[in-house]
Structure 1
Amino acid sequence: MAQVKLQNVRYAGMTTCVPHRVLSNIRDCPPQMRNARERLVRNIGIEERRICASWQTFSDLAFDAAEQLITTLNWQRDEIDALIIVSQSPDYLLPSTAIIMQDRLKLSQSTIAFDINLGCSGYAFGLHVLGAMIASGGIKKGLILIGDRSAGVIDPLFSDAASVTALEYDPAAPPMYFDLNSDGSGHRTIMLPAGGHREPFGIQHALPWKDSDGMWRSPTELCLDGPAVLSFSTQVVPPAVRKLLEFADCPIADVDYFLFHQANRMINETIRKKLGLEADKVPSSLRDFGNTSGASIPLTMTTRIGEQLDGQSARLLMCGFGVGLSWGTCLVDVAGAVFPALIES
């Protein structure tokens, strides 16, 4: 278990961008699926989702979010020492999307830029990687760009979003605490089977089949074992939260907000109840935005508690969990950080 305490790292701000296009899980589904979809919405709690235009990528959303955050913070672009992208939706298989974004954002050529291939758990991992670089003293300011383009017109779960977080060196900053974990034995639980080097795309992968629910499926689409995801999430998250609070010597009552990856209502409510948390301390963006992968925690911060956080002080516990399987928990104090309103692009 990787438990880490980072010093001298300030959470300077965060902003989030979503596409303009809104899809309703009920109004925009085929008529023959309406009754089944209404039952599903009651269980998963996702009524609307955001989906990119055909020309948009994750990095287009991240670019708009980064431009706004840099402007709001009044940071000089040549001061930004590192740019990290946490995503499973790269512009290309190569080169790294982060390096492309370094040029697109007009950052210095001395900027460290690289990608991290993580999804639902990625926010805590990204904060830790950049935070550790800053805590070492060599990096003074950096950006984490996180999110995915994963929405489909028919799929009721996933939505598109990107978020950008700014961290900076500050000897007076309160410590950040992390607990990061992985279990590759469950890698098939959430998986895109075809298209990599283990199973390169072939003509056979272009032939869909109809499953037991009457839905057409393809090996190039995400395979998700719902019951296994439910079991994994509800078993690992509550003890991970308790262990991190113990490591940080922080009573649960001292946390202002608990922010969990927005998987679905059943999973998140089970986690909340197992931890005995009051509903008003566990904000959710599921109803209006669905599952936005690694961007779901910052999206929830922006849309549900951004006004309360903007320029204020708060202690936040964040936990992402999912594809990998992996899960990451962090305890972060924000003080004076900026949280601009949601951007639609």
Structure 2
Amino acid sequence: MALSTLHNVRFAGMASCVPHRIIDSVRDCPPSQRSERERLVRNIGIQSRRVCPEWQTFSDLAMVAAEKLLEELQWQREEIDALVVITQSPDYLIPSTAIILQDRLGLPHSTIAFDVNLGCSGYPFGLHLLSSMISAGGVKKALLMIGDKSIKVKDPLFSDAGTVTALEFSLNAPPIYFDLNSDGSGHRAIMLPVGGHREPYGPQHHISTRDEHGSLSGPDYLQLDGPAILSFSTQRIPPAVERVLQYANVSKDEIDYFVFHQANRMINETIRKKLQIPIEKVPSSLHDFGNTSGASLPVTISARLHDKLDGSAHKLVLCGFGVGLSWGTAIVDIKDAKFPLMLEA
């Protein structure tokens, strides 16, 4: 288990941006699928999702979020030493989306910029990566940009978002505690099997079929093993949260909010009940924003906690889990940080 503590990193602020376009899980599906979708909504808790038009990418949303956050923080562009992007839907296969964003944001050439390919667990992993760079002393101010664009518009689970988190070096910052884990033996549980070098796209991959409910599927669709995901999430996450709390010598009562990856209502409620956490301490954005992959933690905070966290002091548990399989948890103290309202673009 990868337990660690990082010092001298201040959580300065966070902003999230979603597309204007709203797709209703029931109203916007074919009539023949509505009864099945109604059942699905009851189980997974996703009533509507935000979906980008074809021309828009997650980085366009993250740009809007970054511009707003920099304005509220009154940070100068030339002060930004690092920009890390966590995504599984980059603008291009080559070059890195982070380097393109460095230019679009007007950051200096001295800014370290690179991408990391990670999904649902991306936020705590990205937070650890960037905080490590800051804690080492070479980076003073940095941006963590996380988001994804849905693979298929008709998928009833996934939604689009772009987010940014601002971190800075501070000798007075409380420590951040982490527990990060990976289990590649379960990589097929959440997988897009074609499109990489292992199996490049071919004409045969564009042939779709319909299941008994009328839903389209094909080799170029994201493959989800529901039972495996449920088992992994509900068995691995509760003990991981308990472990990092014990490591940090922090009780559950001392945590103001537990923010979990927005997988689905069944998974998240099982985790909450196993940990015996009051429902008012576990915010959810699933109903209105769906599963936004690695962006789901910042989206949930922006949508549900911005007015509670803005300018005040709170202790949060941030837990992401999924594709990989991978899972990570962080305990973060937030004080006098900026949390703009949810943005749309």
Shorter-chain-normalised TM-score: which range? over 0.9
Q: Distance in 2 between matches of 1:191 and 1:44?
A: 20
Which TM-score applies when normalising by structure 2?
A: 0.99
| 1:151–1:160 CA contact under 8 A, matched in 2 | no
Q: Distance in 1 between matches of 2:270 and 2:264?
A: 10
- 1:299 equivalent in structure 2: 299
- Indicate whether 1:258 and 2:258 are aligned: yes
| 1:15–1:302 CA contact under 8 A, matched in 2 | yes
| 1:147–1:160 CA contact under 8 A, matched in 2 | yes
Letter matched to residue 161 of structure 1: A
Letter matched to residue 218 of structure 1: G
| 2:32–2:214 CA contact under 8 A, matched in 1 | no
- 1:147 equivalent in structure 2: 147
- 2:234 equivalent in structure 1: 234
Q: 1:12-56, CA deviations, whole angstroms, 9 ceiling, x for partnerless residues? A: 000000000000001101000111110110000000000001110
Q: Distance in 2 between matches of 1:72 and 1:344?
A: 17
1:187 is paired with a residue of what secondary structure? helix
Q: 1:70-115, CA deviations, whole angstroms, 9 ceiling, x for partnerless residues? A: 1110001010000000000100001100001000100000000000
Shift of the 206–39 alpha-carbon distance from structure 1 to 2, 3 Å rule, reads same
What are the residue-to-residue correspondences of 1:205-284 with 2, within 5 Å?
A: 205-284=205-284
Q: 1:154-206, CA deviations, whole angstroms, 9 ceiling, x for partnerless residues? A: 21100001110000000000000000000000000000010000001111111
Letter matched to residue 5 of structure 1: T
| 2:33–2:213 CA contact under 8 A, matched in 1 | no
Percent identical pairs in the alignment equals 64
In the TM superposition, residue 221 of structure 1 has moved relative to its aligned partner by: 1.2
| 1:63–1:105 CA contact under 8 A, matched in 2 | yes
Q: Distance in 2 between matches of 1:145 and 1:67?
A: 12
Q: Distance in 2 between matches of 1:213 and 1:23?
A: 19
- 2:319 equivalent in structure 1: 319
| 1:16–1:343 CA contact under 8 A, matched in 2 | yes
What are the residue-to-residue correspondences of 1:36-47 with 2, within 5 Å?
A: 36-47=36-47
- 1:112 equivalent in structure 2: 112
Letter matched to residue 114 of structure 1: F
Which TM-score applies when normalising by structure 1?
A: 0.99
Q: Distance in 1 between matches of 2:302 and 2:216?
A: 35
- 2:78 equivalent in structure 1: 78
| 2:124–2:318 CA contact under 8 A, matched in 1 | yes
Q: Using the TM superposition, name which of 208-217 and 79-88 deviates more.
A: 208-217
Q: Distance in 2 between matches of 1:25 and 1:99?
A: 35
Q: Distance in 1 between matches of 2:160 and 2:287?
A: 14
2:243 is paired with a residue of what secondary structure? helix
In the TM superposition, residue 220 of structure 1 has moved relative to its aligned partner by: 1.3
Q: Distance in 1 between matches of 2:160 and 2:66?
A: 16
1:38 is paired with a residue of what secondary structure? helix
2:181 is paired with a residue of what secondary structure? strand
| 1:130–1:142 CA contact under 8 A, matched in 2 | yes
| 2:33–2:214 CA contact under 8 A, matched in 1 | no
Letter matched to residue 188 of structure 1: R
Letter matched to residue 215 of structure 1: S
Size of the aligned set, in residue pairs, is 345
| 2:162–2:295 CA contact under 8 A, matched in 1 | yes
- 2:193 equivalent in structure 1: 193
RMSD: 0.8
- 2:177 equivalent in structure 1: 177
In the TM superposition, residue 215 of structure 1 has moved relative to its aligned partner by: 2.2
| 2:152–2:221 CA contact under 8 A, matched in 1 | no
Q: Distance in 2 between matches of 1:112 and 1:214?
A: 47
1:188 is paired with a residue of what secondary structure? helix
In the TM superposition, residue 212 of structure 1 has moved relative to its aligned partner by: 4.2
- 1:23 equivalent in structure 2: 23
- 1:285 equivalent in structure 2: 285
What are the residue-to-residue correspondences of 1:1-80 with 2, within 5 Å?
A: 1-80=1-80
In the TM superposition, residue 332 of structure 1 has moved relative to its aligned partner by: 0.2
| 1:306–1:340 CA contact under 8 A, matched in 2 | yes
- 1:310 equivalent in structure 2: 310
In the TM superposition, residue 216 of structure 1 has moved relative to its aligned partner by: 2.1
Q: Gaps (5+ residues) in structure 2?
A: none
Which portions of structure 1, spanning 4 or more consecutive aligned residues, are displaced by more than 6 angstroms?
Answer: none
In the TM superposition, residue 135 of structure 1 has moved relative to its aligned partner by: 0.2
Q: Distance in 2 between matches of 1:174 and 1:73?
A: 20
Q: Distance in 1 between matches of 2:153 and 2:168?
A: 39
